[in-house]
Copies of this chain bind each other. A is one copy, B any other.
Amino acid sequence: MKAAECELCRLDGGALVLRNEELRIVLADEPEYPGFCRVIWNAHVREMTDLAPPQIARLMGAVFAVEDALRAVCKPLKINLASLGNVTPHVHWHVIARFADDPHYPKPVWAERQREGDAASIAARCVLLPRLTDEIRARIKAQ
C-alpha cells in the first residue's frame, strides 16, 4: 500500500486528543465503545520493529499513558491492547476499555457480538470523555 492510498496517512483516524511530531492519539468513532482510543504513528510505517528503539519506547509510552488514563477515568473491567493493521498496514494501537455489559465482552471486539450495547451505560461513559481527554494530555505532557 502506498502512503497516498492509506487512510491513516490521509485522515486523523478519529477525534483528535493530541498530536505531536511523531504520533497522535484519537478517540475512535466506535459509538458503542466510548473510550476506545487509538494511538497512531504519524509516518507510514508497517510494523513496530520497523521503528527505531527510541521511537518504539515513545510510542509504547503513549499507549500505556492512554491505558493509565482510561483506568483512572473510566474504571474498565479490562483493558485490551492491539496492533493489527491487516487492512491498514500503518502502525496504530487500539486501546480499548472493556466492560461486562459491552457488546462483545468477554470476546475481543472483533469477534461475534454477545449482546446489544446498554444505552444508559454508553451514555454514562460518554460523559467521561472530556475528562479522559484531559487526563491523557496531562500524562503525555508529563513524559
Contacts and interface: CB of A to CB of B under 8 A. Distances in A.
A63 B105 CA distance: 25
A90 B60 CA distance: 19
A20 interface: no
A79 B47 contact: yes
Contact of A86 (B49, B78, B85, B89): B78
B106 A108 contact: no
Given A48-B81, A60-B60, A86 B68 contact: no
A87 B49 CA distance: 28
A78 B67 contact: no
A30 interface: no
Contacts of A78: 46-47, 84-86, 89
A142 interface: no
Given A48-B81, A49-B79, A110-B111, 5 more contacts: A48-B64, A48-B67, A57-B57, A81-B81, A108-B108
